[in-house]
Chain A
Amino acid sequence: MPESNYWRKPFDADKVKSPDGTVYVIKDRCKGCGFCVEFCPRGVLVLSTEFNRKGYHPPEVIHPDRCVNCDLCERICPEFAIYCLNQEEIIELAP
């Protein structure tokens, strides 16, 4: 999916900073459904060509800078194999 080019630019776009997120993929838990790749609104992910232990293709982060920590991949993943965290959550969950 391309970047959101059908929205107008907000008036306060220069003042408000969009949040940053980091995507984590638990590769061996993934069953390669492709929901996260299909529905990511920022086009961060793509299905990789490599196989995981079960023979599925897990997603791969190709544009980590585009992630805005919207949590959609985390919520739409039926396998609980992908999640995105902001910097505070990373410090909280992985001390």
Chain B
Amino acid sequence: MTVTEVKPDTTRKIPEHPKSLLLRMDRMPHIWCSRCGIGITVGCFASAMEKTGLSPDDITVTSGIGCTGRVAGYVKADSFHTTHGRAIPFTVGLALTRPDLKHVVFSGDGDLISIGGNHFIHAARRNQNMLVICVNNFTYAMTGGQLAPTTPVTARATTAPYGSFERPFSLPTLAISAGASYVARWTSLHIRRITDSMTEALQRRGFRFIEIIAPCSTIYARRNKLGTGLDLMKYYYENSVIDHNASVDDLDIGFQSKIVVGKFVDKDRPSYGKSMHEHFRKVLGNKYQPPVSGKMEIDKSWSGCTESQDTTVTDEVQS
């Protein structure tokens, strides 16, 4: 093997990382472990932002608690690190006040589906205007590897030393049954497909859900003797099956079993705001004054923002 010189030589000024306009490179290296998959999804998100042509001012990123909860600190968009499980309620507020922006919830499975599970299903039911990116690593990694609602049967956790016997959640099934308008699942190896999926989902309205299965090298792989994150990436390479028309029964993930990935749902359903406007226009007619979109200042014309106006609306309805 001939070892040739690296070009260009080290004396030359090294160009900036291409993602440095969208990610806070001054905070790197980040806190995630070696061989963790979360960094890949953040990179794909930055690529998707680039592809849509949206400026970072047009996007908000909200995270909950956990490893993936740290994402909010690494993107250059307006971001917030909420309390445990409350990333979706926070974004519901953002989506109602600023319907002109793109709202992204970037969090983990323990945060979104376990403690925030109720918020998740109700935001999906109402078709709230947000993109939810859930990085699923099958465990509560930051707190030391407890049993998560996504841990596959027979996989070990600190609170299940003899293996789990609970049926785990299948997150796309949950999102589909709750009524999400866009549902996709990829593994962190499908970098181009994640990017395409995020690009597509950023341009839609309504509740969009993307599950990304990511390797947890330090906790999940070590406790289950699966090698390192690199071995899990090889496992994704060999065992992921792309099937866009998969039935919900095929979406369950067993311990080291086949993983069905793909874009499962992409339908147009009126979002929460649109349904509200249509309903009130029908019921109230000309009396209904829709909220002014794209204004941070709360306008007087916005019915429902103050108590007095709220009562007048209800009075009108009653009369």
What separation, in Å, do the CA atoms of A48 and B27 have in the docked complex? 25
Give the number of A-B contacts (CB < 8 Å).
94
Contact of B40 among A22, A54, A76 (CB under 8 A): A76
Contacting residues, chain A, for B191 (C-beta < 8 A)? 72, 75-76
What separation, in Å, do the CA atoms of A21 and B226 have in the docked complex? 35
Q: Is the CB of B36 within 8 A of A78?
A: yes
Q: Is the CB of B14 within 8 A of A77?
A: no
| Range class of the B interface residue count | 35 or more
Contacting residues, chain A, for B25 (C-beta < 8 A)? 80
Q: A62-B1, A64-B7, A78-B36 are in contact. Are A31 and B15 (CB under 8 A)?
A: no
| Interface positions of A (Cβ within 8 A of B) | 22, 24, 26, 28-29, 31-35, 38-39, 54, 56, 60-65, 72, 74-81, 83, 85, 89-90, 93-94
Nearest CB of A to B196, in Å:
12
Task: Give the residue name and chain of the B residue nearest to A26 (CB).
Answer: B17
Contacting residues, chain B, for A64 (C-beta < 8 A)? 4-7
Q: B-side binding surface: helix, strand, loop or mixed?
A: loop
Choose among A35, A78, A80 the residue with the greatest number of B CB atoms under 10 Å from its CB: A78
Q: A38-B230, A83-B18 are in contact. Are A78 and B37 (CB under 8 A)?
A: yes
Nearest CB of A to B145, in Å:
19
B47 contacts the other chain (Cβ, under 8 Å)? yes
What separation, in Å, do the CA atoms of A32 and B16 have in the docked complex? 21
| Interface positions of B (Cβ within 8 A of A) | 1, 3-8, 12-19, 23, 25, 28-30, 32-40, 43-44, 47, 189, 191-192, 195, 229-230, 233-234
Q: Is the CB of B15 within 8 A of A79?
A: no
Q: Is the CB of B39 within 8 A of A74?
A: no
Nearest CB of B to A19, in Å:
15
Choose among A32, A38, A56, A75 the residue with the greatest number of B CB atoms under 10 Å from its CB: A75
Q: Is the CB of A22 within 8 A of B37?
A: no
Contact of B23 among A29, A35, A80 (CB under 8 A): A80
Contacting residues, chain B, for A28 (C-beta < 8 A)? 29
Contact of A79 among B13, B14, B30, B234 (CB under 8 A): B30
* Given contact pairs A78-B36, A78-B40, a sample of 13 additional A-B residue pairs in the complex whose CB atoms are under 8 Å apart: A33-B34, A33-B230, A35-B35, A38-B233, A62-B3, A62-B4, A65-B4, A75-B195, A77-B40, A78-B32, A79-B39, A80-B28, A90-B15
